[in-house]
A = this chain, B = another copy of it.
Amino acid sequence: MRISQLAETTGVPVATIKYYLREGLVPEGERTNATQARYGEEHVQRLRLIRALLTAGGLSIAAARDVLRHLEAPHDSVGEVLSVAQASVTPAAPEGIDLSRARAVVDGLGWQIDPDAVDALASLEAAIDGLEAAGFELPEGALDGYAEAMATVAQAEIDGIPADSVEAAVHYVVLGTVLVEPLLLALRRLAQQDASWRRFGG
């Protein structure tokens, strides 16, 4: 199909598609002459994926490109997929950040984490900083409660990684990491409404 049909099929304007092509998010079509190219089903799929990463996933263009690169790169084992996926969607740790509180939390929980994955640790440190800076004290035991809930979630997610195909595993982990976040946060808010209703009434 031509670029105009690709735009019509996906609902992504031609100008936006051209922008994604320039940014390397979408592979070039098959040239039919000097000014035209032909696009196929893989372009439709790719555009849908990009829209999902940018809107539902809330990623920047640069982060989306990183994710797509990781989806395409060859990977050796299912086990390494997770750290690669996390690296592509976790903001880089600021230089020289003190991670001692985040490390203390993780050690206290007895979690075995990737020693090279300081970015996720930095996200935890930043979250703890944010609570403290705002003068918000978590109630006694709340942090352990959050950790336990997330451990249950993570265990199910890791158990769900397709182990028969590295490619399927990459797809599952990269997209699951990004796209499940808004799902979890939306469910939390709705669950709060339910719990509030049961405690305080309608």
Interface residues of A (CB under 8 A from B): 45, 48-49, 51-53, 55-57, 77-79, 82-83, 86, 90, 102, 106, 109, 111-114, 117, 120-121, 123-124, 126-131, 133-136, 138-139, 142-143, 145-161, 171-172, 175-177, 179-202
Contact = CB atoms under 8 A, between A and B. Distances in A.
A151 B153 CA distance: 12
B56 A190 contact: no
Nearest to A137: B172
A168 B184 CA distance: 26
A160 B140 CA distance: 9
A130 B182 contact: yes
Contact of A200 (B48, B77, B153, B201): B77
Q: How many copies of the shown chain assemble into the complex?
A: 2
B111 A193 contact: yes
Q: Give 10 nearest A-B pairs by CB, closest first.
A: A56-B130, A79-B200, A52-B134, A154-B191, A158-B195, A111-B194, A124-B186, A123-B186, A127-B183, A127-B182
A98 to B, nearest CB: 16
Contacts of A123: 182, 185-186, 189
A126 to B, nearest CB: 6
Contacts of A147: 187, 191
Contacts of A57: 130
B111 A175 contact: no
Given A136-B172, A177-B189, A181-B188, 16 more contacts: A57-B130, A86-B192, A90-B189, A112-B193, A113-B197, A120-B193, A124-B190, A126-B182, A136-B179, A142-B156, A146-B153, A147-B187, A150-B188, A159-B199, A181-B185, A185-B185
A175 B82 contact: no
Contacts of A192: 82, 86, 154, 157-158, 177
A126 B189 CA distance: 14
